[in-house]
Chains A and B, each alone.
Chain A
């Protein structure tokens, strides 16, 4: 009868083990914050979408025109940036998935332009400086806790341009004082700037 006793111990042991696992699963599972609806916009997907939008905004439509993004940076036109990046592309109504079961969740964007100049205040020791200015403000300020992604794009700028008001002021005569300007430290030369867009889910 010793043999059957040993088997009984084993079976009871397995039963006890299963109960322990199940308990641990239920306790830990109940505190999990997993939400299946969020999986389709993971960080990876949002980053890819953001990078794609910047890329196609920075693609000239034909041989005779500069890209939209170049024009926006050259004229510092934040309103146009938000309209294109957010309204036309990112939150576009022409989404096949949206027409079926998925609804788009709102994404907040914050766009900054970074540029490089040389600080020559000490002529013996000129220093490279990276400075940024806001291109387009977010509708809701970033609280600092939402997970977000950052996408960037290098943009060619031919010169420091502070005069083109065409889009910020559609009806001439325009008051040059109202035109958004690049900061004074932007050097007047062909250069490369970095458009950085931070995106998070509201």
Chain B
């Protein structure tokens, strides 16, 4: 008894820190945090002022929230039933420098003592490091624990003429019925029926939280590479052997120069006056539409939408697009990168569908010498600068979407 008595007195402080570190790591890696909605993906749960996902809010909201009598706890797992599988959105929010040490102690470490702490998360695939702490590891004694975790990745879809030639409308324009609308649209479809359900026939089951593509929880990114779809490069020898009953022609530019001003084709001068192949297309709007094709005001509903695009005049500059709809038309040279997060459950659950609709369209060009009101003479109007068309299914097909693969990582907690 005597040796353990004295040794016990000596050891107690170090082991106590280990216990605090252990507890902190358990909260981080085995708990979804509080407040949280412990529902299955795609199952609608009404939210109110106290019932929401803590990670769907901004740091300033949470700072106010924790000042009141409301409980806030920083747990990082994607759900209650998936220990060691962490949500990217929770990681980003928890490691936000906006939170002070005092707030981290209040909502994660607990206890009366103002512990020093260092929490580090290292992704083993990208070596990306997230750190939150009152300082580096101390030289002296500290409590420590290491946990191994998997991090659920966000998904993204990249569409270019090379990866998805099927969206190049070349053939569509030469096959009846001819499309003679003024605008061209490209859609990306997110449908709860195929995002939240897996299996076939009567054996359908809900996709489990760590593997689901859930726009209400995880960011959705669409990278649209327009360059290959611009109306300037596609060579089709049949282009001008067809009759052109509608204005939507695509260009083989050499053939065009040889053929314009011929009977039945538009005059060379009016379409692109400088006779230069277009190096941009005009983006009219990006809209969100539901299953019945009614527009959804996603931004007002609280979703986080960011768009950047490649302006052909300022080359590599990426500009934020603030005005989606109604739009100020912008010239896009190549990439339009769109990221959506925090989609409200009102618009995304099991039976809901949301389409991202890109609309491209040029200002009408009036053909001199003809009456603009006469459809028969309108042959030169609305020549599109891009050929993109169709609907991309955002789903579990790896050819379309980078899957939400789980990446290994190490979470370390030191307390002193």
Q: Do chains A and B touch in the complex (CB under 8 A)?
A: yes
Query: Measured between alpha carbons, how far is A55 from B54 in the docked complex, in Å?
Result: 26
Q: Say what secondary structure dominates the interface of chain A.
A: helix
Q: Which of B135-143, B247-255, B261-269 is found at the contact surface with chain A?
A: B135-143
Given contacts A44-B22, A64-B403, A101-B137, is CB(A32)–CB(B3) below 8 Å? yes
B59 to chain A, nearest CB (A): 23
* A140: interface (CB < 8 Å): no
Q: Are A59 and B198 in contact (CB under 8 A)?
A: no
Are B412 and A96 in contact, with the CB atoms below 8 A? Answer: yes
B343 at the interface (CB under 8 A from A): no
A23, B106: Cα distance in complex, Å: 45
What residue in chain A is nearest B127 (Cβ atoms)? A94
**Which residue of chain A has the shortest Cβ distance to B212 in the bound complex?**
A63
A28:B146 contact, CB within 8 angstroms: no
Q: Mark A1-45, 1 if CB is under 8 A from B, else 0.
A: 000000000000000000000001100110110101001101011
Which residues 192-226 of B have a CB within 8 angstroms of A? Answer: 198, 207, 210-211
A147 to B83 CA separation, bound complex (whole angstroms): 28
Bound state CA distance, A25 and B210, in angstroms? 55
> Which residues of the other chain, B, contact A24 by a CB distance below 8 angstroms?
2
CB pair A39 B122 closer than 8 Å = no
Specify which chain B residues have a CB less than 8 angstroms from the CB of A94 in the assembled complex.
122, 124, 127, 410
Q: Which residues of A contact B124 (CB under 8 A)?
A: 88-89, 92, 94
Stretch of B108-116, B147-155, B276-284, B371-379 contacting A (4+ beta carbons < 8 Å)? B147-155
Question: In whole angstroms, what is the CA distance A5 to B254 when docked?
Answer: 124
A97 at the interface (CB under 8 A from B): yes
Tell me which residues across on chain A come within 8 A of B141, comparing CB atoms: 36, 39
A25 and B405 contacting across the interface, CB-CB below 8 Å: no
In the complex, chain B residues 1-42 whose Cβ is within 8 Å of any chain A Cβ: 2-3, 6-7, 10-11, 14-15, 18, 22
Interface contact B144-A40, CB-CB below 8 Å: yes
> Is the beta-carbon distance between A64 and B22 smaller than 8 angstroms?
no
Given contacts A59-B85, A59-B150, A89-B408, contact A96 B18 (CB under 8 A): no
* Nearest-Cβ distance from residue A24 to partner chain B, whole angstroms: 6
Give Cα A49–Cα B118 distance, bound, in whole angstroms: 18
Count residues of B near A (Cβ-Cβ below 8 Å).
Answer: 46
Please tell me if the beta carbons of A100 and B412 are within 8 angstroms of each other in the complex.
no
* Interface membership of A56, Cβ < 8 A: yes
Residues of A within 8 A of B148 (CB): 49, 52-53, 55-56, 89
A48, chain B: closest CB distance, angstroms: 7
CB contact between A97 and one of B11, B84, B146, B396 (< 8 Å): that residue? B146
Interface presence of A183 (CB below 8 A): no
A122 at the binding interface (Cβ < 8 Å): no
Complex contacts, A202 vs chain B, CB 8 Å: none
A169 within 8 A of B: no
Interface string of A118-148 (1 = CB under 8 A from B): 0000000000000000000000000000000
Shortest CB–CB separation between residue A197 and chain B, in angstroms? 13
Complex: how many Å from CA A131 to CA B267? 85
In the bound assembly, the distance between CA atoms of A53 and B127 in angstroms comes to 18
> CA of A56 to CA of B122 in the docked complex: distance in angstroms?
15
> In the assembled complex, how far is the CB of residue A46 from the closest CB belonging to chain B, in whole angstroms?
10
Is A95 engaged at the interface, CB distance under 8 Å to the other chain? yes
In the complex, chain A residues whose CB is within 8 Å of the CB of B414:
96-97
Q: A49-B146, A101-B137 are in contact. List 7 more A-B contacts (CB 8 A).
A: A29-B7, A44-B18, A52-B147, A56-B149, A92-B410, A94-B122, A96-B412
- Listed by A's residue number, 25 A-B pairs whose Cβ atoms lie within 8 Å are A25-B6, A28-B2, A29-B6, A32-B7, A36-B141, A39-B11, A45-B22, A45-B145, A48-B22, A48-B147, A49-B146, A52-B84, A55-B83, A56-B150, A59-B84, A59-B406, A62-B211, A62-B405, A64-B398, A88-B124, A88-B408, A95-B146, A95-B410, A96-B122, A96-B412
7 nearest A-B pairs in the assembled complex, by CB-CB distance: A52-B148, A96-B120, A100-B137, A94-B122, A40-B144, A28-B3, A62-B405
Residues of A within 8 A of B (CB): 24-25, 28-29, 31-32, 34, 36, 39-40, 42, 44-45, 48-49, 52-53, 55-56, 59-64, 88-89, 92, 94-97, 100-102
